[in-house]
Amino acid sequence: MPEFKPRAKFAEECHAIILAGGSGTRLWPLSRNLLPKQLLVLGGELTLLQQTVKRVLAAFDPSRIWVVTNEEHLFEVRKQISAMHSGLDGQVLAEPLSRNTLPAIMLGLDRFIGGNDKVLAAVFPSDHLIGNGEAWIEDLVKASHLAARQRFVTFGVEPSKPETGYGYITLGKPLDTGVFEVDGFVEKPDLATAEGFLRHGSHYWNSGMFLFRAKDFLKQVAKCQPELWDWWMAREERPLVQGYRDIPGISVDYGVVEKIDNIAVVRAGFAWDDLGSWEAMYRLGVKDENGNVIQGDVLAMDCRNSLLISQGGKLAAVGLEDMIMVQTRDATLSCPMKRVQSVRSVVDALKAQGSQLVESHPTVVRPWGSYCVLEEGPHYKIKRIQVNPGARLSSQMHHHRSEHWVVVDGTAEVEVDGHARVMVENQSVDISKASQHRLANPGKVPLNIIEIQSGPYLEEDDIVRFEDVYGRVNK
């Protein structure tokens, strides 16, 4: 486990809030709502979230790091960050539903602001790539001095190309070496505007990272967002999450940052990239002699300057140039490189169709293990279920489906309507509709079973939980 060693005095008076609740729609079909990009390994050995945590641990004590995520991702986030440092397990905060970045930041502030008027907060997205960690820490130190003088600080990246997928910061007068006042913000511009920004050097990319004095930030929330301020002020009467469904979803940029004057931007001395599109994956990937970035089981013939990824079977590509092809077990994306920003529109169209391809992969991670949908059709679904050693599912029942379980390997402890039994390889059990049942793995190796569901309705919301070690009992 990494050991905390103070890197700068600012870390003694500053807390870090890592935002890990995004959906990453522009990296579909790898990124889905139940397993978004920050929880994926997209290069190297660590997920984007783990890379962020590792970087933040170099500057902050674990007790001063807070990770805000969605309830759906809570257990996976805990697992991933605990692998980086065991002291982080209790530092995860769960939103009951997504309300964008401003409420998420306020949820984090609630854990440490107390009565300390001087406490600082640093906000980091969990899905960015950062290079040169020493320069990153130096820039944090510089920003902390500005924040202590009641400046709201953001970090800008000097553009290297006319990027239309990023927001921009308009530079004002210089305040110090590499530090400027902010004259405004520009949402994702068209190509001609972005080219003008690059020529004139008048704008930086908006990195989405901030550092500020918590008390000053909340004063601006009170001024700019009175509805959120009322929600915040009622937190002594009931936890913030209890009022989450009634507050507006709003980003910190639109809700506060773009409405205040006392903002400074620190020019990033570190390498930065928002891994938010397939074009970025291609640009940062290792290219072969033909300029292709290839991952997985791919046969590329006469292809040039293309991104070819397969996570589900053989992908054969012939004569492609400047193309993106991403194949998973249940979906394939084919898109010209220059149309990469249209992937978001694909996701919107799938949502409009009610497609489950937006929600999850065939394999879905759960706190007790995982399940994979092998096949499904009208009135039936076949799953492979893996239960981790020592783990147990909730005690539950279904109104609309019956189930048949077959143990493939491992040892299963099965309880049906109060009757318990131990099952081993090739043994099976039938579970009728409305039967209260439970599955556990008492062994020391993973348990694998095949589950055959049958009935008129087979979706995951047909679960009534009676008891659950992970706190998921139906409210």
Helix/strand/coil (H/E/C) assignment for every residue in 217-281: HHHHHHHHCHHHHHHHHHHHCCCHHHHHHHCCCCCHHHHCHHHCCCEEEEECCCEEEECCCHHHH
**Is 334 within 8 Å of 342 (Cβ atoms)?**
no
Residue 279 lies in a domain: no
Residues 344 and 368 in one domain: no
367 preceded by a cis bond (ω within 30 of 0): no
- Of the three residues 246, 274, 302, the one that is the final residue of a domain is 274
**Is 246 within 8 Å of 135 (Cβ atoms)?**
no
CA 88 to chain centre: 17
State the Cα–Cα distance between residues 31 and 331, nearest whole angstrom. Answer: 12
State the Cα–Cα distance between residues 153 and 266, nearest whole angstrom. Answer: 7
Q: What angle do CA 35, 157, 216 make, to 5 degrees?
A: 80
Cα–Cα nearest to 127, from 271, 25, 22: 22
Tokens encoding 411: 């040892």
Residues 23 and 151 in one domain: yes
- Predicted confidence at residue 10, as pLDDT, reads 67
Residues 172 and 211 in one domain: yes
Residues 383 and 425 in one domain: yes
Give the structural domain span for 267.
9-274
Q: What's the DSSP call for residue 425? A: T
Residues 348 and 394 in one domain: no
Residues 131 and 26 in one domain: yes
29 preceded by a cis bond (ω within 30 of 0): yes
pLDDT tens digits for the chain (475 residues)?
444 454 556 667 899 999 998 877 889 999 998 889 999 998 778 999 999 999 999 999 999 999 999 998 999 999 999 999 999 989 999 999 889 999 999 999 999 998 777 899 999 999 999 988 899 999 999 999 999 999 999 999 999 999 888 899 999 999 999 999 999 999 989 999 999 999 999 999 999 999 999 999 999 999 999 999 999 999 989 999 988 989 999 999 999 999 998 999 999 999 998 888 899 899 989 999 999 999 999 999 999 999 999 998 999 999 999 999 999 999 999 999 999 889 999 999 999 999 989 998 889 989 999 999 999 999 999 999 999 999 999 999 999 999 999 999 999 999 999 999 999 999 999 999 999 999 999 999 999 999 999 999 999 999 999 999 988 885 4
Q: Which helix (H) or strand (E) holds 67?
A: strand 65-70
Q: How many CB atoms lie within 10 A of CB 209?
A: 24
Residues 404 and 381 in one domain: yes
**Is 433 within 8 Å of 457 (Cβ atoms)?**
no
Residue 281 lies in a domain: no
Quickly tell me which residue has 């070496």 as its tokens. Answer: 177
Residue 358 lies in a domain: no
Q: How many domains does the chain have?
A: 3
Residues 156 and 265 in one domain: yes
- 406 beta partners: 428, 450
Residue 47 lies in a domain: yes
CA 148 to chain centre: 30
**Is 264 within 8 Å of 152 (Cβ atoms)?**
yes
Q: How many CB atoms lie within 10 A of CB 150?
A: 12
State the Cα–Cα distance between residues 170 and 200, nearest whole angstrom. Answer: 11
Could you give the C-alpha distances from 42 to 26, 30, 145, 261, in angstroms and in order? 14, 9, 35, 38
Q: What's the DSSP call for residue 392? A: B
Residues 189 and 262 in one domain: yes
Q: What angle do CA 289, 292, 297 make, to 5 degrees?
A: 110
CATH number at residue 63: 3.90.550.10
Residues 293 and 245 in one domain: no
- Predicted confidence at residue 78, as pLDDT, reads 94
Tokens encoding 143: 């920003």
Residue 2 lies in a domain: no
Residue 451 lies in a domain: yes
Residue 472 lies in a domain: no
